[in-house]
Amino acid sequence: MNKISEEETKRQLGFIEELKDVIAEKKRRLNRDLTYHVTTFGCQMNARDSEKLSGILESIGYVPTESEEADFILYNTCTVRENANMKVYGRLGGLKHQKKANPEMIVALCGCMMQEAHVVEKLRTSYPQVDIVFGTHNVFKLAELIKIHFDTDDRVIDVWEKTDEIVEDLPSTRKFKFKTGVNIMFGCNNFCSFCIVPYVRGRERSRDPRDIVREIEGLVADGVVEVMLLGQNVNSYGKNLEEPMSFAELLKEVEKIEGLKRIRFMTSHPKDLSDDLIEVMAHSKKICKHLHLPVQTGSSRLLKDMNRRYTKEDYLALVDKIKKAIPDISLSTDIMVGYPGETDEDNEETMDVVRKAGYDSAYTFIYSIRKGTKAAERPDQIPEDIVKERFDKVLALVQEISVERVKRFEGRVMEVLVEEKNAQLEGYLSGRLENNVIVHFPGDPSLIGELVNVRLTECKGFYYYGELKTDE
């Protein structure tokens, strides 16, 4: 960690200590605990940010609650699609009356949506119930922003356009004791024509590999057996470090950590996926045999317009290379339907990729205009009824192939990381295979957090029923 980050961490820890006294006094006055509720929209990186935000809130004395009738409400927002924004505005409308009923209530918003100037202006003018607004670059400042709000009794808006700082060593509250995400880099340099991420997350910034390894070692010592390495494009990791290191080289270092059982990562951009990475995955004992490789579309013409920097043929050749090196690999992808200028022929190209790539799962979604991107300016937006028809065709094919792909493991004994008690089936546990498929099986809750062998007895399309395999 560099000196600037160390100093900022100390500053923020100082605000946390000051706030402990403030919250303790409020609790004494009210004769009850103060509660908080965090709602996370969007990607795995937002989920990881929410763990950090929850850690800060719990450190200063707030107690978590599942109810949105809390004293501190925080929405960690996503702006990849328009409906994500609308969900947030809808939630905020419902909080207006709650806040009148509870004078102690604080409403805070952060995340990608806050990086858009028109959103902040809308909050400023139309949503007086919002007390604290901050963005993606200064998540670590939550305690300081709360302190300013308490001291001034005024709204606090602190959104940075960009940053070079990486401040990670602050409290964090994990959803699962045994697995978590670890940020290895932030931002994106790719500027795909449809994507707002580079504008709201900023340019690529890689963490020092020593800090990453040190963080994971600490997590393993605290009971973590599986980590998800997170970045907008992990395959670009290390390019801006003083001593450049490839993502494949970082994975080798992470694999050396004793006690760590599973390594996952996302997201991989096809144009940057190296032969070295494929080789490391093929020979690894810890990297899960699952790869998320977004294709977006099967049309080379549209891929060029999207600035994806690969063709349909490039993508399929890469898939072929991966499957030859790692025969049991499970592939997942992102597929966008309805990009401006898309034709029926382009949609057929996408379906051809789905057939040839053989995805185990695919996140299939409809293109959403994002203000500020190049694609939003195009006049040839596709009518909604045509997009819906194409989307349904692609989705039906994805599901048909996915069911067959997932079913290939039926009858095998495979390792499952047990995650939780099954909410619907009494006496059942639920866990995840290394290929990310969920398995439900009878078992004792004491197994939660453990890696166990389970025979996959019945495939139910996108999940399995199984039975615990005991040593005989």
- pTM flag (> 0.85): yes
Say what percent of the chain tops pLDDT 70: 99
Name the nearest CA neighbour of 416 among 438, 437, 433, 440: 433
DSSP per residue, 181-196: EEE-EE------TT--
The string of pLDDT tens digits covering residues 166-193 is 787 788 888 899 999 999 999 999 999 9
Name the nearest CA neighbour of 394 among 350, 329, 456: 350
Q: How much is the pLDDT for 34?
A: 97
Q: How much is the pLDDT for 275?
A: 97
The string of pLDDT tens digits covering residues 238-288 is 998 999 999 999 999 999 999 999 999 999 999 999 999 999 999 999 999
Q: How much is the pLDDT for 196?
A: 85
Residue ranges of the chain with per-residue pLDDT less than 70: 1-4, 471-472
Measured distance CA(309)–CA(213) in Å, rounded:
32
User: Measured in Å, how far apart are the chain's first and last C-alpha atoms?
Assistant: 50
Which residues pair with residue 428 across a beta bridge? 442
DSSP per residue, 80-102: SSHHHHHHHHHHHHHHHHHHHH-
Measured distance CA(353)–CA(332) in Å, rounded:
12
Measured distance CA(100)–CA(251) in Å, rounded:
51
Q: How much is the pLDDT for 1?
A: 55
Tokens at 92, concatenated: 């905020």
The string of pLDDT tens digits covering residues 327-338 is 999 999 999 999
Measured distance CA(273)–CA(400) in Å, rounded:
27
Residue with tokens 């494009």, as numbered in its chain: 233
Q: How much is the pLDDT for 3?
A: 56
Which residues pair with residue 330 across a beta bridge? 290
Q: How much is the pLDDT for 343?
A: 98
